[in-house]
Amino acid sequence: MDRRDGARVSRAASVDERYVPHHGDPSYTVTRYDLVVDYVPESNRLTGTATLGVRALEPLRKVRLDLNDLRVQKLLVDGARAKYRQQRASVSVELGRELAEGEEAEIMVAYGGRPHPMRGPDGDAGWEELEEGAIVASQPHGAPSWFPCNDLPSAKAPFRLELSVPQAFTVVGNGVPGERRRTAGRVVQVFDQPEPMATYLATVHVGDFVEEQQATSPVPVGFVAPGSLREQAQDALADQPAMVAFFDRVFGPYPFQRYLAVVTPDDLEIPLEAQGLSIFGPNLLHDGWDAQRLIAHELAHQWFGNSVTLRHWNDIWLHEGFACYAEWLWSEESGRESADERARHHHAKLQAKDQDLLLADPGPDLMFDDRVYKRGALTLHALRRRVGDDAFFTVLRTWTDRFRHANADTADLERVVADVAGEQTDLFDQWVRATAVPDLP
């Protein structure tokens, strides 16, 4: 968490609490997660041990962990048993001493139960049992459905996951696969995600998958899918390597060590992003534009959302607006409509809709409204028209470089724009801090 002053921490508590109530503790951040998880699909039973490194952002004697409907069996602080109080969706942990600002401690939690999606203002999110396996889609509030965490987007940390399942199943997780071993009818797979990750981006997929590598440059690119969907995935995801190479060129170096699309056996309402991978249902995979734009969109989140992560949920346009604009850039690159044609089309549609959305703070009910996506993308196109292509793409690359694996907000973006192209306060005032839809420059 960026703690430049006390007001910043106070604002974190108020803004994030309004968007995702009763999640996160802004008094501390997490320096690492080490998760050891055993899952039995037949009974939907999960047992785990989570070890968290925590660092105080102010003097404190206790911390709050988010954990939903999974029972704590043992809890240690720096190796010693600690007092704690568990409620349905949280655990209050007594540290046994006062941590000074900047001081660190280690919390170990052994826990278990039957994980399930969590209800939130925007619907269900988190660990979901499938007919054969499981899927985890946590944005924005579902991470506590399967591990104890500080569920704030600003509390990014490296992750290590060790996942055990029956040998009949394959597992997919964030980061790079490491050690794999078989023991007593089970398979154990380790995943290492050394780049800091927001908790909502942590994911697990348990099923019967085959993996196919599509490219090795600029990073390994591929997909995993049930064998029955392999040919459909090959056709629909054929342009993934070209998308990665194009975005690597225009946005800056791809920020992680690999990229993987996960195809689920079940249909999904929408595709889902996670760090280093994206998730698609078979209903979302074909060679038409409606599917190809979503493939580009989820890929773009690796830069905008996963590497450069919003500091607070009110700035969701920094994720969705950039990913939506990436769709329009890919449209032009792939020989379809130009970004300008896409922008003019959606600008006209946006002007015909209710103009009551404030991009700088859409509120929890509208944070995933389509107008956030389109108005955010149009804000970028307006900037591009104003400053020209050279300066605009320099802004994008500077943004992804300056805040690589960090958190940022709209004010940070304005500073990047000012550094590269000069002050554009009036443009941000019109597009981000007012509700009326401006004309395109």
Which is the CATH superfamily of the domain at 1-204? tricorn interacting facor f3 domain (2.60.40.1730)
For the chain, give me the number of helices (H) and strands (E)? 10, 23
| CATH 2.60.40.1730, the chain: domain bounds | 1-204
In CATH, which of 1.10.1130.10, 3.40.50.720, 1.10.390.10, 3.30.420.40 is domain 308-431? 1.10.390.10
Q: How confident is the model at residue 13 (pLDDT cuts 50, 70, 90)?
A: low
Each residue of 123-139: pLDDT tens digit? 899 999 999 999 999 99
Q: Is the pLDDT at 4 greater than 60, yes or no?
A: no
Region of 275 (left: φ > 0; alpha: ψ -120 to 50; beta: rest) is beta
Each residue of 344-393: pLDDT tens digit? 999 999 999 999 999 999 999 999 999 999 999 999 999 999 999 999 99
Q: How confident is the model at residue 5 (pLDDT cuts 50, 70, 90)?
A: very low
The label of the residue with tokens 């443009």 reads: 427
CA angle at 179 for the pair 166 and 175, rounded to the nearest 5°: 95
Mean pLDDT for 4-14 is 48
Phi, psi of 86 (to 5 degrees): -105, 135
Query: Coil, helix or strand for 330?
Result: helix
Mean pLDDT for 401-415 is 98
CA 296 – CA 278 distance, rounded (Å): 10
Instruction: Please give the mean pLDDT across all residues of the chain.
Output: 95
Which is the CATH superfamily of the domain at 209-302? Neutral Protease Domain 2 (1.10.390.10)
Answer yes or no: are the C-beta atoms of 335 and 246 closer than 8 Å.
no
pTM, two decimals, is 0.95
CA 424 – CA 414 distance, rounded (Å): 7
Q: Is the pLDDT at 34 greater than 60, yes or no?
A: yes
| CATH 1.10.390.10, the chain: domain bounds | 209-302, 308-431
Q: Is the pLDDT at 198 greater than 50, yes or no?
A: yes
Answer yes or no: are the C-beta atoms of 265 and 258 closer than 8 Å.
no
Q: Is the pLDDT at 3 greater than 90, yes or no?
A: no
Q: Is the pLDDT at 205 greater than 90, yes or no?
A: yes
Each residue of 99-130: pLDDT tens digit? 999 999 999 999 999 999 999 877 899 999 99
Query: Coil, helix or strand for 113?
Result: strand
CA dist 160 to 42, 45, 131, 272, Å? 25, 21, 27, 21
